[in-house]
Amino acid sequence: MIAIEHCKQIDLNLHQHEVLNLPHPHSGVEIECEQGIVWITSAGDINDHTLAAGESYVVQDSNFLVIEAVQDAVVNLKDTNEEFAVHVAV
């Protein structure tokens, strides 16, 4: 597991089929797909989401979130309101 604390944003490079687990994302964190395609599923959200380059998803109340790269992708996690801590399991 990778722990990233007290940051405003982070860019992550994901290889095709690589899975990123966000165990405790807080509301308001924006996930932006900068390159490639990613699939997102979130506990408590009945819909899954697919993001292509230039598209984003804002985390609502969630206990667990999974991002999978459908193809090689660059994902930006950011929070414009405050610094946040992210615990990432890859």
Q: Which pLDDT value is given to residue 90?
A: 54
Q: For 16-71, write each residue's pLDDT tens digit.
A: 999 988 877 777 889 999 999 999 998 888 899 999 999 999 988 767 889 999 99
Q: Which pLDDT value is given to residue 1?
A: 47
Who has greater pLDDT, 3 or 37?
A: 37
Per domain, the residue ranges of the chain are 2-88
Mean pLDDT, rounded, for 62-85: 83
Q: Which pLDDT value is given to residue 13?
A: 95
Q: Do residues 68 and 17 make contact, with C-beta atoms less than 8 angstroms apart?
A: yes
Fold of 2-88: Jelly Rolls (2.60.120)
**What's the CA gap between 87 and 22, in Å, rounded?**
6
